[in-house]
Chains A and B, each alone.
Chain A
């Protein structure tokens, strides 16, 4: 089956630093990747949708200058949390969709803790 990986699985950083999270589709080409954020005991909220080679589309209320998304290839998307603050601490999950197959495959998630 289709596998999506995320790296790192968890990260602790100091306030003010930037953190990059990678999302890779391991055995298929993902034309579209999605980034979600999940705060403790809450649901998954879509942050942005990215298509390979084009700018990401951000959901309302998500700061595009703070959450930089790059989808440089059909197997890799990155989310960079710039100047992270404690309120950015969350569980970040990516998903990948194979060429409009209408099925999203989810990564295992990345836990970010900003001190």
Chain B
């Protein structure tokens, strides 16, 4: 069975600090996608990244970076020099690549609060 675990329920840091959100996943599939989404108070999901299981390269996009390690089944997300606007709930998610329906399994989310 597929499962995504985000052990950190809530994180609060002061603005400009770096913060890492952890994500550990379980799947029997050898081919899968991993995602990160941001959900601000408005509720709308904002897509941040999709990474397939073949590509373990780390990725950086501005202040955001992602560390994918298949050996530990982790896909962690780091925000550098955090800002108040980064405050939101962040979801890590997993889906199969080759299946009849690409279901997305979401983690429980991490609520990130950035204090001024």
Contacts and interface: CB of A to CB of B under 8 A. Distances in A.
A104 B102 CA distance: 9
Nearest to A49: B101
Interface string B48-77: 001000000000000000000000000000
A87 interface: no
A102 B97 contact: yes
B41 to A, nearest CB: 12
Interface string B75-114: 0000000000000000100010100011111111101000
Interface string A79-102: 000000000000101010100101
User: Taking chain A's interface residues, is the majority helix, strand, or loop, or is none over half, making it mixed?
Assistant: strand
A109 B42 CA distance: 9
A57 interface: yes
A62 to B, nearest CB: 13
Interface in A11-65: 32, 34, 41-46, 49, 57
Interface in B30-51: 33, 37, 42-45, 47, 50
B107 A43 contact: yes
Contacts of A109: 43-45
B44 A43 contact: no
B91 A32 contact: no
> Which bracket fits the contact residues of A?
20 to 34
Contacts of A97: 102
A57 B101 contact: yes
A31 to B, nearest CB: 10
A93 B108 CA distance: 16
Contacts of A34: 103-104
Interface of B: 33, 37, 42-45, 47, 50, 91, 95, 97, 101-109, 111
Given A93-B45, A102-B33, A106-B47, 17 more contacts: A32-B101, A41-B111, A42-B108, A42-B109, A43-B91, A44-B45, A44-B91, A46-B103, A49-B101, A91-B43, A97-B102, A102-B102, A103-B50, A104-B102, A104-B104, A108-B42, A111-B43
